[in-house]
Amino acid sequence: MFAVMKTGGKQYRVQSGDVLRVEKLAADAGEMIQFNEVLMVGSTVGAPMIVGAGVQAEVIDQIKGPKTINFVKRRRKHSSKRTKGHRQKLTLVRIKDILEKGADKSGVKAAIGAGSVPHLATPVIEAAPAEKKPAAKKAAAKPAAAVKPAAAKKPATAKKPVAAKAPAEKPAAKKAAAKKPAAKKPAAKKPAADKE
């Protein structure tokens, strides 16, 4: 019997005994895990997943994939280059069992990606609900001394009329200096008429 399962954004067709290299999972070597996203088991096709189906596997090792080199060269006038290497982190797993039903009750740890969802990789422990205490009664009304009486406010003062100031006059000398007379151009001399 075979199954089509999904993990790390990829789909795999697996049978019992297959060894796969999948995207890194949060599990140690020798640990049993279960893939719950099963798209197909034998002739049963899910819509999109099969409820209650699962693929159990044993983690063999955490490895790195082959090194890939990313080389970028900007041509012509730029003369810049960049080389960057990358090795993808992978998990080696061996498929042990394919379950058509009852995978959700098997008690095997679910396979969860290590890098993409770190908060789901650690078990969530819920705190017990705290006991509710009876609400304390509110204190009596505040004493009247805290509130200022209206008579304590300062009376509004009468506004004094503002004396209108005459605009400051500029001295005539400054006005004359501000306006410069246009420079006179010398009159062009006319050529004398030729006498005959």
Confidence of residue 25 (pLDDT cuts 50, 70, 90): very high
Nearest-CA neighbor of 6 among 47, 59, 55, 45?
Answer: 55
Average pLDDT, the chain: 79
Give the pLDDT of residue 192: 66
| Residue 33 CB neighbours (<10 A) | 22
Per-residue pLDDT tens over the stretch 146-160: 555 555 556 566 666
Region of poorest pLDDT, from 97-101, 118-122, 167-171? 118-122
Q: How far is CA 43 from CA 3, 39, 46, 70, in A?
A: 9, 11, 10, 42
Q: Quick check: 84 and 69 in contact, CB under 8 A?
A: yes
Q: Quick check: 101 and 42 in contact, CB under 8 A?
A: no
Confidence of residue 136 (pLDDT cuts 50, 70, 90): low
pTM of the model: 0.54
Nearest-CA neighbor of 1 among 44, 59, 32, 64?
Answer: 44
User: Phi and psi (nearest 5°) for 153?
Assistant: -70, 150
Give the pLDDT of residue 79: 84
Could you tell me which residue, 180 or 53, shows the higher pLDDT? 53
The distance from CA 195 to its chain's CA centroid, rounded to whole angstroms, is: 97
